[in-house]
Amino acid sequence: MHLIQLLAASLAVSVSYALPVQEGAKKTFVMSRKPAVQYRPQAKSATLVANVTDPSVSRDSCGSVNMGGRTLWTCRDTAVRLPGTDQFGWVFTNTVGWTDHHPDGSPSIQTGGPAGAGSNGTNNILLMKGPQPSLPTFYALGSNQCPSSGVCADGTSRWTSWPDSPPMVSNTAQDGTATAYTWISNNHITSSGFQVLTTQPSVTLHKMTYKPNTNVNVVPTVKPVDTSFWKAGEIAYGTYGNVVNGGYAYLYGLLYPSGVALARVPVNSIEDKTKYQYYVSGKWTSTKPAIINPAAAVPNAGTTGQGTFYYCSKAQSYIWIGQNSPSVWADFYISTAPSPEGPWITPYLLYSGPNGDAELPSYSLQAHHHLLRKTDDGIYLTWTQYFKPSTYNAYVTPLVYVSFV
C-alpha cells in the first residue's frame, strides 16, 4: 500500500472512532471504577546507557524478556563478523542472545569489551552472550519456507521468520523453568525491495521452555506448536504485542487496513483456540472478527507502529511504547490505559533518540520494563539504528534509560 493510502486509511479510521455516541454508556461505567485522570508520564531525563551487542555478530531488531532469571534477546537478521575484518556476512533470519543483569534487575553494563558491532573496545556495552561460533536459526522456518536460511534457491524471494515481539512468558515453575510463546507471521518477501508476496500471511505459534542454566550456550528449547495457528487472512493476534496479567494473556494484532485488535486467553490455555475470546464493539465474544472489521479495533492501543505493551503495577496502568506510524525515526510514542481493553489515551511523544543515516534510519522501537529496579520510575528503550554501509557497517542497538515525571 502506498504511504498516502495508508495515511488516508488511518485518518479515516481514527475519525470514525472519535465518535463518542456508541461508547458513552460503557465509558461512564469504566471511569466510575477507575481513576478519572489517566497515567501520563513525561520524560524528565534520558541517558544513553550502552549498546546492546555481541560484537562478533551484527543483529537487527531485537526485543527482550526476562526468562529463567536472565535476559533473553530475540533478534531478526543476524550476520556473522568475518574474523579480522569489520565486514559481516552469512545472514541468519533470527537468533537469540543472553545478557546479564544485577540482582536488583538493572542491566549489567560493562565499559569496553571485544571490538565489533556497536563496540570500539572502549564504549559501554550490554554484552550479549550465547552459542558461538555457530548461530542456528532459533525460530525454525517451515518445511515449505526454503530452509534453512529462508532464501529460496532462485534467489528472488525469501521467508523471514522475523519475530515482531519478544517471547511471552506464560508460566514460571517452582524450579524456575519458564514456558513461553511467540507468534510469528509466515512472511514471504522479495529478496530485493522487501515487497510482501503474501498479504496477511498465516502465523506460526512457537513454544519455548527454559530451565535456568549457568551455561550461556544453553538457550530455550523451541518448537512450532502449529504452523498455521492463525490462518492467512485472519488477525495475527499476538504478533503486535502481548501482556500477561490477572491469569490472562492479552494478545494484540493488526487490523486491515489499519487499527489494533485484542484477544485474550487464560494463560495456561495458550495452545487451545477454543478458549480464546475477542474484543469486538466493547464486548468479549468467542466469535473471531474479520481482519477488516473496524468494530474489532481498540482505539489508541498503539499507533500500529512497532512497540511493546507492558503492565506497570506501580502506576496501575497498561502501557504501550513504540514508533509512530508511519515513521522511520527513533521517536518513541506512549499510550496508557487502566485495562487492556482501554480506554487508551492518544499516543504522545515521550522521547526522541539519535537516528542512523540510511533509508530506514530507526525502527523496531522496544521497551524493556523487566530491567527496571523497584526504585526506578522510568523505562529502558532500544531500537535499531541503521546506517549507510559507508558510515557504519553493522546494526546498532542503543539502550537508553528515560526517567519519568
Ligand X SMILES: *[C@@H]1O[C@H](CO)[C@@H](O)[C@H](O)[C@H]1NC(C)=O
User: Residues in the site for ligand X, rule: CB under 6 A?
Assistant: 48, 50-51, 118, 120, 122-124, 392, 396, 398
**CA proximity to 279, closest of 248, 320, 307, 257:** 248
Q: Name the residue nearer to ligand X (CB basis): 97 or 220.
A: 97
CB of 119 to ligand X, least distance (A): 7
Give the cell for residue 31. 471511569
CB of 85 to ligand X, least distance (A): 15
Q: Name the residue nearer to ligand X (CB basis): 23 or 77.
A: 77
Q: Name the residue nearer to ligand X (CB basis): 324 or 393.
A: 393
- The tally of CA atoms less than 13 A away on the side-chain side of residue 4 is 0
CB of 50 to ligand X, least distance (A): 5
Q: Name the residue nearer to ligand X (CB basis): 50 or 265.
A: 50
d(CA 218, CA 211): 9
d(CA 340, CA 371): 22
3-state secondary structure of 263: strand
CB of 400 to ligand X, least distance (A): 9
CB of 247 to ligand X, least distance (A): 39
SS3 per residue for 15-64: HHHHCCHHHHHHHHHHHHHCCCCCCCCCEEEEEEEEEEECCCEEECCCEE
Q: Name the residue nearer to ligand X (CB basis): 48 or 196.
A: 48
Residues in the chain: 405
Give the cell for residue 251. 494478545
CB of 388 to ligand X, least distance (A): 13
Q: Name the residue nearer to ligand X (CB basis): 118 or 167.
A: 118
Q: Name the residue nearer to ligand X (CB basis): 124 or 324.
A: 124
Which residue's Cβ lies closest to ligand X? 123
Q: What is the DSSP string of 315-367?
A: TTEEEEEEE-SS--S-EEEEEEESSTT-PPPPPEEEEE----SSSS-EEEEEE
CB of 378 to ligand X, least distance (A): 17
Question: Can you point out the beta strands (E) in 186-312?
Answer: 188-190, 203-210, 221-230, 241-245, 248-254, 260-266, 277-280, 283-285, 307-312
Give the cell for residue 190. 522479495
Q: Name the residue nearer to ligand X (CB basis): 278 or 332.
A: 332
CB of 112 to ligand X, least distance (A): 9
CA distances (Å), 336 to each of 34, 231, 252, 350, in order? Answer: 13, 30, 15, 12
Contact 361, 342 (CB under 8 A): no
